[in-house]
């Protein structure tokens, strides 16, 4: 059994819902998961002890939030090379945050990312049964990377 950290920023609660649904999927895959707000992670030592990382943030003005940017600089110091990962986000229109985070994890951190790419959902879709299922399936896909 592996341990996954889901770290997220949420402005309206939708990205937080996604994080919880993704966590269910990780658990369905037989792994353990911690779900934390990035604001509660102060340094790279808090990232130790995990086998995989799934990071999420809403798109805000076609960008990731300042809090997620700060967190990514912290995460870079944690040496996540070769760790399993995924990225997700919610948006009202454009959805740039999840691909930005995914690319950073893959190309800067050199992580082994889920082959589904980033998960990006429209805010009005997140709490729907299909939105919940999409998040759970994404969590399961990251969990299966450990097998």
User: Mean of the pLDDT values across residues 8-29?
Assistant: 94
44-58, 62-76, 97-111, 114-128: the lowest-pLDDT one: 114-128
Could you report the per-residue pLDDT of 95-105, keeping only the tens digit for each?
889 999 999 99
In sign, the C-alpha dihedral spanning 52, 13, 118, 20 is positive
pLDDT value, residue 124: 79
Q: Of the candidates 10, 74, 73, which has an alpha carbon nearest to the alpha carbon of residue 42? A: 74
Assign 109 to helix, strand or coil: coil
The tokens for 53 are: 């990382």
pLDDT digits (tens, 9 = 90+) for 69-79: 999 999 999 99
The residue ranking higher by pLDDT, 53 or 119, is 53
What pLDDT score was predicted for residue 136?
A: 94
Strand partners, 91: 122
Residue 147: the pLDDT is 67
DSSP states along 39-70: GG--SGGGGTT-SEEEEE---SSSS--HHHHH
The overall pTM is greater than 0.85? yes
Q: For 106-120, what is the mean pLDDT?
A: 92
Do β-strands 112-113 and 52-56 pair in parallel, antiparallel, or remain unpaired? unpaired
Alpha-carbon distance 91 to 47, whole Å? 26
DSSP state letter for 9: -
Tokens 């870079």 -> residue: 76
């Amino acid at each position: 059994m592996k341990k996954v950290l889901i770290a997220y920023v949420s402005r309206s609660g939708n990205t937080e819902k996604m994080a919880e649904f993704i966590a269910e999927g990780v658990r369905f895959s037989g792994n353990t998961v911690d779900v934390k707000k990035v604001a509660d992670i102060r340094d790279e030592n808090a990232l130790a002890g995990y086998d995989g990382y799934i990071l999420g943030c809403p798109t805000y003005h076609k960008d990731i939030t300042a809090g997620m940017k700060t967190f990514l600089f912290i995460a870079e110091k944690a040496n996540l090379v070769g760790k399993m990962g995924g990225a997700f986000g919610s948006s009202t229109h454009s959805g740039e945050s999840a691909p930005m985070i995914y690319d950073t994890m893959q190309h800067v951190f050199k992580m082994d990312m889920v082959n589904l790419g980033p998960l990006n959902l429209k805010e009005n879709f997140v709490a729907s049964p299909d939105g919940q299922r999409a998040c759970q399936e994404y969590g399961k896909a990251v969990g299966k990377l450990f097998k």
